């Protein structure tokens, strides 16, 4: 391609030209000098013709790069040899390109319309809300179902180690009493509507009932379940329900509901879904396991999870000839305990007393039918 000298082109100062859809006046920057060369553009049979005082040439339209245009400002086009076309008259350029079928894509047109941008924003918000309410819980259950049992067991062990180091202490209950409660719960579970086998469907132990004490102003009367099957009951909980063993069986049944439904893992996955999905695909769970105590310690079970666990606790009581309303006794006493000792208190969101029952939940337990 031959170009005239810069000095010759600089001498050209065309006057105002009326643009037509068949032609468009522009400036050519050849990439060799900073001076612009006035040119006239036209398109015939799929070829772009560039006519200037210094030179005339043509290239195929498909070889030209037409950047996404802005609503305001100059229009640009990049030629295959590195040269650039520039037009300050946006409306003229748009009319010329439109006349030759070089309109912006539907995506670009949508991006330049505030109505389409607003519609896209509303759709995005709707998708995010839908994902939060329905997509994330569904995806969490699917991820947990595909997760190797060893992952859940390892996360549960890590969380328990963290709790033992910071907030829990060895139980002060006599070993015989601990053993008696384990036997009592095992006997009740043998009468459950669907008695668990030695290993559940995920290959994990049925449960591992453990007792812990807590320091003053610690967790207090509490019980909670961890991924992998650990069910932790505090000495204060045993003391709180010493006269109502049926209520304590309901509490253990409630926590067993969290275990068998993998609520702990589902909550963890929902809170860190992207990280868990990446870990499931890549196979590296080290970061998730490291963060599990902090993440799970800040999570409260969803209302639906609590309803499911309440139903499991009520079903266990019914299967053992006990009144499901006994589980409501626990919440009444926890509320009375809170009222008697107001003030700040450490709470673990996954623990039972950290999410006391509301009126609807207690009404469901009192309304549950006892065994005939």
* Res 260: pLDDT: 86
Report whether 218 contacts 346 (CB < 8 A).
yes
Which helix (H) or strand (E) covers residue 287, if one does?
A: helix 286-297
Report whether 341 contacts 353 (CB < 8 A).
no
- Torsion angles phi and psi, residue 10, rounded to 5: -65, -25
Question: Which of 109-113, 280-284, 362-366 has maximum average pLDDT?
Answer: 362-366
Grade residue 289 by pLDDT with cuts at 50, 70 and 90. Answer: low
Grade residue 35 by pLDDT with cuts at 50, 70 and 90. Answer: confident
Q: Model confidence over 198-254: pLDDT tens digits?
A: 444 444 447 889 999 988 777 788 999 998 889 999 999 999 999 999 999 999 999
Higher-scoring residue by pLDDT: 335, 196: 335
- Compute the distance between CA of residue 139 and CA of residue 102 in angstroms, rounded to an integer: 43
- Compute the distance between CA of residue 247 and CA of residue 237 in angstroms, rounded to an integer: 11
DSSP-derived 3-state class of residue 64: coil
* Res 2: pLDDT: 43
Neighbours of 95 (CB within 10 A): 14
- Compute the distance between CA of residue 232 and CA of residue 197 in angstroms, rounded to an integer: 21
What is the residue extent of each domain of the chain? Answer: 20-111, 133-367
> Could you give the C-alpha distances from 19 to 25, 94, 103, in angstroms and in order?
7, 11, 18
Q: Which class in CATH covers the domain with range 20-111?
A: mainly beta
Neighbours of 336 (CB within 10 A): 10
- Compute the distance between CA of residue 309 and CA of residue 264 in angstroms, rounded to an integer: 12
- Compute the distance between CA of residue 288 and CA of residue 164 in angstroms, rounded to an integer: 19
- Compute the distance between CA of residue 79 and CA of residue 65 in angstroms, rounded to an integer: 7
- Torsion angles phi and psi, residue 298, rounded to 5: -100, 0
Beta-carbon contacts of 191 under 8 Å, excluding residues fewer than 6 positions away, are 319, 320
Report whether 223 contacts 234 (CB < 8 A).
yes
Q: What is the pTM assigned to this prediction?
A: 0.59
Q: Model confidence over 56-90: pLDDT tens digits?
A: 999 999 899 888 767 678 889 999 988 999 998 88
**Tokens describing residue 150:** 């060893």
CA triple 12-18-21, angle to 5 deg = 115
Neighbours of 259 (CB within 10 A): 26
Closest CA to 271 of 282, 263, 259: 263
**Torsion sign over Cα 73, 75, 78, 84:** negative
Give me the sheet containing 230-234, strands edge to edge.
169-170, 208-213, 230-234, 223-225
Helical packing angle, 273-282 and 263-271, nearest 10°: 100
Closest CA to 146 of 253, 276, 26: 276
Report whether 23 contacts 41 (CB < 8 A).
yes
């Amino acid at each position: 391609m031959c170009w005239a000298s810069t000095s010759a082109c600089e001498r050209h100062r065309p006057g105002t030209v009326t643009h037509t859809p068949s032609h468009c006046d522009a400036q050519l920057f050849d990439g060799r000098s900073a001076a612009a060369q006035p040119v006239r553009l036209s398109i015939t049979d799929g070829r772009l013709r560039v006519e200037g005082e210094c030179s005339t040439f043509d290239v195929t339209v498909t070889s030209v790069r037409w950047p996404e245009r802005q609503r305001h400002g100059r229009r640009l086009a990049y030629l295959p040899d590195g040269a650039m076309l520039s037009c300050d008259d946006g409306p003229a350029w748009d009319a010329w390109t439109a006349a030759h079928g070089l309109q912006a894509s539907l995506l670009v047109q949508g991006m330049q319309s505030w109505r389409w941008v607003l519609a896209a924003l509303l759709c995005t918000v709707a998708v995010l809300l839908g994902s939060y309410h329905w997509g994330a819980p569904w995806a969490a259950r699917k991820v947990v179902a595909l997760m190797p049992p060893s992952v859940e067991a390892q996360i549960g062990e890590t969380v328990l180690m963290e709790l033992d180091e910071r907030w829990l202490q060895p139980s002060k209950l006599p070993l015989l009493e601990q053993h008696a409660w384990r036997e009592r719960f095992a006997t009740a579970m043998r009468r459950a509507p669907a008695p668990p086998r030695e290993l559940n469907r995920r290959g994990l132990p049925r449960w591992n009932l453990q007792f812990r004490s807590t320091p003053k102003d610690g967790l207090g009367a509490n019980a909670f379940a961890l991924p992998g099957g650990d069910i932790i009951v505090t000495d204060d909980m045993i003391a709180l329900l010493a006269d109502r063993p049926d209520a304590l069986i309901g509490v253990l049944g409630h926590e067993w509901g969290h275990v068998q439904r993998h609520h702990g893992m589902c909550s963890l996955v929902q809170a860190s879904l992207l990280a868990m999905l990446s870990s499931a695909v890549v196979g590296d769970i080290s970061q998730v396991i490291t963060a599990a105590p902090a993440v799970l310690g800040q999570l409260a079970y969803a209302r639906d999870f609590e309803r499911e666990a309440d139903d499991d606790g009520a079903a266990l009581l019914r299967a053992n000839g006990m009144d499901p309303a006994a589980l409501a006794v626990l919440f009444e006493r926890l509320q009375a305990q809170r009222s008697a000792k107001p003030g700040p208190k450490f709470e673990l969101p996954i623990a039972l007393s950290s999410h006391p029952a509301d009126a609807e939940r207690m009404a469901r337990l009192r309304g549950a039918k006892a065994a005939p």
